[in-house]
């Protein structure tokens, strides 16, 4: 194998050399998305923990009162979205790395996507329902 940029033989396809992508055909986008969601979760973790501590020992009316505040509901929604997206990316990387059968890999990725979307939507629905006081 020759040095990058030299006219010698390379094991990469011409298209891969042009796009500068690795064997996964996705480059480092998943890596960076996971890091961005991790940073978002770190920034949102302290406010989310404070909100959860404020909710401890309260009934539904008390929770609705706390979550009825727009800034608190927004912080919780952002935390849920970042967490669900981070979970989806992390599990997809594990599935792609450790499941070798293509059909099982595809089914696992589809199940992972469905599960993460279902968790996110259920959590978002709960926050919106509590924050609207219904």
Q: What is the pLDDT along the chain (134 residues), one digit of tens a residue?
A: 455 555 566 676 766 666 655 555 555 787 888 899 999 999 999 999 999 999 999 998 888 888 888 999 999 999 999 999 999 999 999 999 999 999 999 999 999 999 999 999 999 999 888 887 66
Distance separating alpha carbons of residues 91 and 79, to the nearest angstrom: 18
> Domain for residue 60, yes or no?
yes
Other CB atoms within a 10 A radius of the CB of residue 102 amount to: 8
With the CA atoms of 39, 43, 112 and 29 taken in that order, what torsion angle do they form, in degrees rounded to the nearest 10? Answer: -20
Nearest to 73 by CA among 13, 2, 124, 113: 124
Q: pTM value?
A: 0.73
> Domain for residue 48, yes or no?
yes
Domain interval for residue 43: 28-132
Tell me how many domains the chain contains. Answer: 1
Q: Which domain CATH number covers 67?
A: 1.20.1300.10
SS3 call for 133: coil
> Domain for residue 11, yes or no?
no
């Amino acid at each position: 194998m020759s040095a990058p940029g030299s006219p010698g033989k390379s094991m990469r396809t011409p298209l891969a050399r042009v796009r500068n992508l690795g064997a996964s055909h996705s480059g480092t986008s998943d890596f960076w998305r996971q890091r961005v969601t991790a940073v978002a979760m770190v920034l949102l973790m302290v406010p989310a923990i404070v909100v959860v501590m404020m909710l401890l020992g309260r009934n539904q009316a008390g929770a609705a009162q706390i979550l009825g505040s727009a800034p608190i509901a927004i912080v919780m929604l952002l935390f849920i979205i970042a967490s669900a997206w981070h979970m989806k990316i992390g599990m997809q990387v594990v599935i792609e790395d450790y499941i070798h059968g293509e059909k099982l890999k595809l089914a696992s990725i589809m199940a992972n996507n469905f599960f993460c979307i279902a968790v996110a939507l259920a959590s978002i629905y709960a926050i919106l329902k509590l924050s609207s006081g219904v």
